[in-house]
Chains A and B, each alone.
Chain A
Amino acid sequence: MDLYAESILDHAHHPFCKGPMKHPTVSHEESNASCGDSLELRLLIKGKRMHDIRWEGEGCAVSQAAMSMLAGHLKGMTVEKAAHLPPRFVFDLLKVPIGPRRTKCALLCLHALKNALRKLDGEPAQSWTETIGN
């Protein structure tokens, strides 16, 4: 199936939850130095749930669409569940096969989410190997 399927481009051009947030519980930025993609994720957490999500960023269609799709699913999710989302969750949202050279584009959103939650817990950031492998 085509990587640039309608839905990916739709999300890239009309993203969900993109924009500023005044008083996030935590905000965190991750980037893929090799291609200049970056995502800054802001989470408002209330009662151990994702109450609101906002993000800003730039980069390729895959990284931006994946963030948009993921953001759409985070609202209301427990922090516990979000912290354990597997890469498959993002791949399933994208619905197109993601080859090795685009894996980091697709998972930048997940990497940002995991490390935002770790930051919240005062834990050190996890590596890409951990994000891709768990």
Chain B
Amino acid sequence: MPLDTTAIRRQFPIFREEHPPIYLDSAAMGQKPANVIDAMDTYYQLAASNVHRGMYALADEATNHYEAGREAARAFIAARHRDEIVFTKGATESINLVAKTWGKVNLRKGDAVVLSILEHHSNIVPWLQLKEDIGISLRWIDMEDDGSLRMGDLDVALQDGKVKLVSVTGLSNVLGTLPSLSQIIERARQANALTLVDASQLIAHRPIDVIKLDCDFLAFSGHKLFGPTGIGVLYARSPLLSKMPPFLGGGGMVQRVTREEFRPADPPAKFEAGTPPIAEAIGLKAAIEWFTQHPWKGIEAHEHALLAHAIEKLKQISGLNILGPASADKIAGCVSFTIEGVHPHDLTDILGQAGICLRAGHHCAQPLHERLGIGASTRLSVSLYNTPEEIDRCAEEIRCAIAKLKK
């Protein structure tokens, strides 16, 4: 059954406006369906209370809602236990948590972490920080010109047994390419390296099953899944979480504190110091419920058709160069491009004046842009609420902008 985009769009307050924007930047932030906004609103209006603290009914309710958010996140990525879901501020914090807790106690000078050239800065900088702090080295999986990873680079990196972690994105936030996670994870496991999947982009475009994937860690943010900002998830296998030292210190993450020492709580509380993002967990649950109404097959087919249409339209624009494979079969979520003689910021500024939202810049993937030999690109990303007509309008406006900038 094809998705009914008219019905879908009606559920988003922003698309009910008289002149809604043509929003082609869902890779940066998903729009919010009304049920997410309502769920958070209800909590703030009628049920605001802290978790795991009070002895009154309202406090129980807050705790239950918060934990229901955790259960929804668990089910969404098919993790075994709810305790394997740590709530963070977002994917960035999730990856930092791994680097600063697991990394700090398990990595020594001379150990290596493998990254792919596709990574977002949030899956690069935490490891560069460990490079500075303890002298680990980073090894990189390069790509072919079509954006597919050179698996031979991974094999070479894994040969000497120094690699302790392979940390890769499940979906490039620039090229839209999908590294072969199962192959990467299998090879890493054979070499006794752990694996982290940055699922920030993947989460809204493909079903994820962490048991089938067999990864050790997985990170994503709620806001790309049409949920609120300020919440993200770190999935980690239970035995790992038990052995990792706590992250931030404070209330909620301890069993017992004396003047001399503290005993950390069990996971996931151990990693959730302070008042957690309660309203956000409620919003995330609502977003997951909203998302799971639609079968993945329908979402994938709709987005594939949009990307195929976008690629066809973009290819007809002279001087426009699509980055990556330029084939909808090989990408998901987004496609990026450059235009000869037109800077992405000028282009997207003009598009923005016409109400069309596209992202320009390096998209927090500078090593990838350096590898591509460019400073910046323009990204068009799609989601289940977009329509082919929006792509057409966008392509038209790109032509107008080029005509204006090049005259």
Q: Interface on A for B, CB 8 Å cutoff?
A: 3-4, 9, 33-38, 58-62, 101-102, 105
Contacts and interface: CB of A to CB of B under 8 A. Distances in A.
Contact of B345 (A9, A33, A38, A105): A105
A61 B346 contact: yes
B345 A60 contact: yes
Given A36-B362, A59-B375, A62-B345, 9 more contacts: A3-B349, A9-B407, A35-B344, A37-B345, A37-B375, A60-B344, A60-B349, A101-B349, A105-B345
Contact of B375 (A9, A36, A101): A36
10 contacts: A4-B346, A4-B350, A35-B345, A35-B362, A59-B343, A59-B375, A60-B344, A61-B346, A102-B345, A105-B345
B297 to A, nearest CB: 38
A61 B407 contact: no
Contacts of A62: 345-346
Most buried by A among B343, B349, B350: B343
A92 to B, nearest CB: 20
A56 to B, nearest CB: 14
B405 interface: yes
Contact of B361 (A3, A4, A35, A38): A35
Contacts of A9: 404-405, 407
Given A3-B349, A59-B343, A36 B405 contact: no
Q: What 10 A-B pairs come out closest when comparing CB atoms?
A: A36-B375, A60-B343, A36-B376, A60-B345, A61-B346, A60-B346, A35-B345, A35-B361, A35-B376, A34-B361
Interface in B332-350: 343-346, 349-350
A33 B376 CA distance: 10
Contacts of B345: 35, 37, 59-60, 62, 102, 105
Contacts of A4: 346, 350, 404-405
A72 to B, nearest CB: 21
A35 B343 CA distance: 9
A58 B375 CA distance: 9
Contacts of B349: 3, 60, 101-102
A52 B343 CA distance: 28
B366 to A, nearest CB: 8
B225 interface: no
Contacts of A36: 361-362, 369, 374-376
B356 interface: no
A4 B407 CA distance: 11
Contact of A61 (B362, B366, B375, B405): B405
A81 B360 CA distance: 36
A33 B369 CA distance: 12
A36 B345 CA distance: 10
Nearest to A105: B345
Interface in B344-392: 344-346, 349-350, 360-362, 366, 369, 374-376
Contacts of B350: 4
B25 to A, nearest CB: 14
Most buried by A among B345, B366, B374, B376: B345
Nearest to B350: A4
B92 to A, nearest CB: 17
A35 B374 CA distance: 11
Nearest to B401: A4
A36 B346 CA distance: 12
Most buried by B among A4, A38, A60: A60
A60 B350 CA distance: 12
Nearest to A13: B406
Contact of B362 (A34, A58, A102): A34
A86 to B, nearest CB: 24
A6 B374 CA distance: 27
A38 B362 CA distance: 14
Nearest to B345: A60
B99 to A, nearest CB: 22
A35 B375 CA distance: 7
Contacts of B376: 35-36
A37 B361 CA distance: 10
A101 B361 CA distance: 12
